[in-house]
């Protein structure tokens, strides 16, 4: 008996299986070189199917050594053009030619290959592919009603996240570590079932990573070299809700139906953002709106009337171009993370499409702030007019976003009017934040009373006054706020006349620019400049505010403060407890101040006076 297996049968291990069952005992197995070439190509690309096929060839070699079968390699390897045309059947045609020339039985798990071979008059044995039970995945056995995700890793015990939304627990669910062989079996089952089932598809397939969507399950399969071990993560939504179940449901419905809106659904990971987005999508679709989604991967559980799109050619901008031709009433964008995502979201919204974006954020205002710098400030209310913050599966906060030209809260001078974005609490109707440009900076100022307000407009005003006065004064500058519109500036005695200017003109210019009345005094008039300062004390800084003592390094071009382990943090630099400036620690773990600047000069003077330089969180 002569048998010619194709690539699918070798990958599935069907040849050795039939030999061991006795069906092919004593047969001559002629493996086409085209099969070997295809397996080698897949293995080199990091695809597990290639390695599984090569392992099957090794099993056949062992069976040949035992005398159970005769093993031959026949035919020719496919050319580069034929490999490139494998999806069009070029390699399959070479395999059929080998079977025809040897008058052999073609063994295949590929239904298309089987039907073509039969049409050409070949003897065909078709065997059902492994992992094609499209009704059930092996990995589903790990799930129960409260399981959101299952995490399998070779050499580790199976784990799962279980519980209710907002109260998930990561726990061990198996007594024995999962072996690599078991992981491979699960992975093979998932991938082949996704290929065979109309309910599944492979969302992404790259060397080391495969992402599959199978019914409600999103399954990520990671292998070396992408990961340091073989692991599978399967996730599914544990609840499906309707908009009626959420707080403010009636108001939100009216708002969404009134006209196309720009909505950001925000919350922490696992808070229930996507579940709420699904409820919104289903509600809009049920009210005669054409709804589409943009997802990568596609895992929203929506009805058949809603078409789910992914990144076209790996680029969501191309998907957006296609959707603008389709002209949906609303598009659900899950998830908006990178600058490109926000730009696509804004372009579609400004084109008149209603947009609902899902964004990771720990506070409702943080979702809106992620647009700052990515979208022109004045256009933000046109792009996003509603922010919904989800916490523990519930609607926690809803913001209404509008804009008007006004004097920002806390300022009084009418000539300081400017476009101001108002963020209003949907429930109370009261503004909670204002976003506007203050002296060339975009600032978000909380309007609630207490500490947040002080660290908002107060801190910003103090920094701007210090920046303005330092550009004039030659010595040390200190600022004390006396309210929203008044401040006292303390400078060296020699700088008094220079800062005030002839007839008070220089300080008047600063006041006009900032909209704040400024009283200029000497350091000697400062209430805190008592015996502690004269004796070299820390200017009244408490032990909890002393911060980290640092030793700045002065180079030819910069004054450098090393802050390893604090990359990205915003800090205040102080000298003997007195504020010098605020900075953000750079990627290299340091703060660099260009020499020649007013800030650098003041820092160098503090170093020369051997003052204690400290850094505290801003």
Q: What is the pLDDT of residues 404-441, one digit of tens each?
A: 888 777 666 666 778 899 999 998 889 999 888 876 67
Distance CA 400, CA 183 (A): 48
Edge-to-edge strand list for the sheet holding 28-32? 70-74, 28-32, 2-5, 105-108, 123-126
Instruction: State residue 81's pLDDT score.
Output: 64
Instruction: State residue 450's pLDDT score.
Output: 46
Q: DSSP string spanning 129-187?
A: PTT--TT--GGGGG--TTEEEEEEEBTS--EEEEEETTEEEEEE--SSPBPHHHHHHHH
- Domain harbouring 40, CATH code: 3.40.50.1010
Distance CA 161, CA 192 (A): 26
In this predicted structure, the answer to whether residue 132 has a pLDDT above a threshold of 70 is: no
Residues 289 and 436 in one domain: yes
Residues 291 and 426 in one domain: yes
- Domain harbouring 394, CATH code: 3.40.50.300
In this predicted structure, the answer to whether residue 80 has a pLDDT above a threshold of 70 is: no
Buried b / exposed e over 272-298, threshold 16 CB at 10 Å, is bbbbbbbbbbbbbbeeebbbbbbbbbb
- The answer to the question of residue 278 being in a domain is yes
Residues 154 and 115 in one domain: no
Residues 399 and 288 in one domain: yes
Q: DSSP string spanning 362-411?
A: SSHHHHHHTTBTTB-GGGHHHH--EEEEEETTEEEEEEEEEEEEEPPTT-
Distance CA 616, CA 618 (A): 6
Distance CA 79, CA 91 (A): 9
Share of the chain above pLDDT 70, in %: 90
Residues 206 and 167 in one domain: yes
Instruction: State residue 410's pLDDT score.
Output: 65
Distance CA 341, CA 357 (A): 10
- The answer to the question of residue 94 being in a domain is yes
pLDDT single digits (tens) 228-281:
889 999 998 777 788 889 988 999 999 999 999 999 999 988 788 988 999 999
- Domain harbouring 224, CATH code: 3.30.450.90
Residues 51 and 18 in one domain: yes
Average pLDDT over residues 206-225: 88
- The answer to whether 157 and 178 are in contact (CB under 8 A) is yes
Q: Which residue has the higher pLDDT, 45 or 282?
A: 282
- Domain harbouring 516, CATH code: 3.30.300.20
The torsion angle over the Cα atoms of residues 220, 223, 226 and 228, rounded to 10 degrees, is 110
- The answer to the question of residue 222 being in a domain is yes
pLDDT single digits (tens) 483-522:
667 888 888 888 888 888 887 888 888 888 777 888 888 8
pLDDT single digits (tens) 307-361:
999 888 889 999 999 999 988 999 999 889 888 999 999 999 999 999 999 999 8
- The answer to the question of residue 262 being in a domain is yes
Task: Give the least confident one: 22-31, 259-268, 437-446, 565-574.
Answer: 437-446
Instruction: State residue 415's pLDDT score.
Output: 60
The count of other CB atoms within 10 Å of the CB of residue 204 is 15
Q: Identify the band that residue 459 occupies on the pLDDT scale cut at 50, 70 and 90.
A: low
Distance CA 576, CA 614 (A): 8
Task: Quote the number of domains for the chain.
Answer: 5
Nearest to 576 by CA among 485, 478, 465, 431: 478
| CA 89 centroid distance within chain | 39
Q: What is the mean pLDDT of the chain?
A: 84
Residues 169 and 251 in one domain: no
Residues 409 and 273 in one domain: yes
Q: Which residue has the higher pLDDT, 132 or 330?
A: 330
Distance CA 567, CA 591 (A): 10
With residues binned 3-state (H G I as helix, E B as strand, rest as coil), the percentages for the chain, rounded to 5, are 35, 30, 35
| pTM, two decimal places | 0.56
- The answer to the question of residue 451 being in a domain is no
Instruction: Tell me which of 383, 417, 446 is where a domain ends.
Output: 446
- The answer to the question of residue 65 being in a domain is yes
Q: Identify the band that residue 546 occupies on the pLDDT scale cut at 50, 70 and 90.
A: low
- The answer to the question of residue 210 being in a domain is yes
Residues 488 and 585 in one domain: no
pLDDT single digits (tens) 367-394:
998 888 888 888 999 999 999 999 888 8
Residues 269 and 415 in one domain: yes
Residues 119 and 178 in one domain: no
Instruction: Tell me which of 497, 525, 553 is where a domain ends.
Output: 525
The count of other CB atoms within 10 Å of the CB of residue 402 is 12
Highest mean pLDDT among 153-157, 557-561, 606-610: 153-157
- The answer to the question of residue 452 being in a domain is no
Domain enclosing residue 511, as ranges: 457-525
Instruction: Tell me which of 235, 265, 285 is where a domain ends.
Output: 235
In this predicted structure, the answer to whether residue 523 has a pLDDT above a threshold of 70 is: yes
Edge-to-edge strand list for the sheet holding 200-206? 167-172, 159-164, 147-153, 231-235, 217-222, 209-214, 200-206
In this predicted structure, the answer to whether residue 579 has a pLDDT above a threshold of 50 is: yes
Residues 252 and 230 in one domain: no
């Amino acid at each position: 008996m002569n048998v010619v297996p194709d690539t699918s049968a070798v990958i599935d291990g069907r040849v050795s299986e039939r030999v061991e069952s006795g069906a092919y005992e004593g047969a001559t197995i002629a493996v086409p070189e085209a099969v070997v070439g295809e397996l080698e190509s897949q293995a080199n690309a990091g695809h597990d199917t290639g390695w599984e096929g090569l392992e099957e060839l090794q099993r056949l070699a062992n069976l040949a050594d035992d005398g159970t079968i005769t093993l031959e390699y026949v035919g020719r390897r496919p050319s580069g053009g034929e490999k490139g045309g494998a999806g069009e059947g070029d390699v399959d045609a070479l395999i059929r030619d080998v079977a025809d020339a040897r008058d052999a039985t073609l063994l295949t798990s590929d239904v298309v290959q089987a039907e073509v071979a039969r049409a050409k008059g070949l003897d065909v044995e078709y065997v059902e592919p492994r992992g094609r039970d499209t009704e059930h995945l092996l990995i589903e056995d790990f799930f129960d009603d409260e399981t959101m995700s299952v995490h399998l890793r070779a050499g580790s015990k199976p784990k799962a996240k279980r519980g209710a939304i907002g109260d998930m627990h990561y726990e061990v669910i198996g007594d024995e570590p999962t072996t690599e062989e078991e992981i491979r079996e699960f992975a093979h089952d998932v991938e082949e079932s996704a290929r065979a089932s109309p309910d599944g598809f492979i969302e992404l397939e790259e060397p080391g990573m495969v992402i599959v969507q199978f019914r409600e399950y999103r399954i990520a399969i990671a292998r070396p070299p992408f990961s340091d071990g073989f692991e599978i993560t399967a996730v599914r939504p544990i609840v499906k809700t309707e908009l009626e179940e959420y707080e403010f449901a009636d108001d939100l419905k009216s708002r969404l139906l009134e006209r196309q809106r720009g909505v950001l659904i925000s919350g922490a990971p696992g808070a229930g953002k996507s579940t709420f987005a699904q409820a919104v999508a289903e509600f809009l679709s049920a009210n005669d709106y054409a709804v589409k989604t943009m997802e990568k991967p596609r895992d929203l559980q929506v009805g058949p009337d809603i078409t789910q799109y992914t990144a076209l050619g790996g680029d969501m901008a191309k998907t957006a171009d296609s959707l603008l031709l389709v002209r949906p009433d609303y598009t659900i964008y899950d998830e908006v993370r990178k600058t490109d995502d926000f730009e696509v979201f804004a372009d579609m919204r400004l084109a008149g499409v209603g947009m609902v974006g899902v964004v990771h954020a720990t506070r409702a205002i943080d979702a809106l702030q992620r647009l700052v710098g990515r979208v022109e400030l004045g256009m933000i209310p046109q792009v996003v007019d509603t922010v919904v913050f989800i916490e523990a599966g519930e609607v926690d906060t809803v913001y209404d976003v509008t804009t008007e030209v006004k004097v920002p809260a806390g300022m009084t001078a009418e000539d300081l009017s400017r476009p101001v974005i108002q963020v209003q609490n949907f429930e109370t109707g009261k503004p909670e934040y204002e976003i506007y440009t203050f002296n060339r900076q975009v600032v978000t100022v909380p309007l609630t009373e207490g500490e947040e307000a002080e660290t908002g407009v107060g801190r910003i005003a103090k920094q701007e006054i210090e920046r303005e006065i330092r550009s004039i004064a030659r010595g040390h500058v200190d600022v004390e706020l006396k309210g929203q519109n008044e401040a006292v500036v303390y400078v060296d005695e020699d700088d008094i006349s220079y800062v005030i200017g002839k007839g008070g003109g220089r300080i008047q210019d600063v006041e006009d620019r900032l909209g704040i009345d400024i009283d200029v005094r000497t350091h000697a008039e400062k209430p805190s400049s008592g015996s502690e300062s004269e004796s070299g004390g820390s200017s009244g800084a408490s032990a909890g505010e002393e911060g980290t003592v640092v030793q700045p390094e002065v180079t030819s071009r910069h004054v450098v403060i090393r802050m390893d382990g604090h990359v990205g943090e915003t800090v205040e630099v102080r000298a003997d407890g007195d504020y010098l400036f605020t900075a953000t620690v750079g990627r290299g773990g340091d703060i660099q101040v260009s020499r020649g600047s007013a800030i650098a000069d003041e820092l160098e003077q503090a170093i020369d006076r051997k003052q204690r330089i400290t850094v505290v969180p801003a």
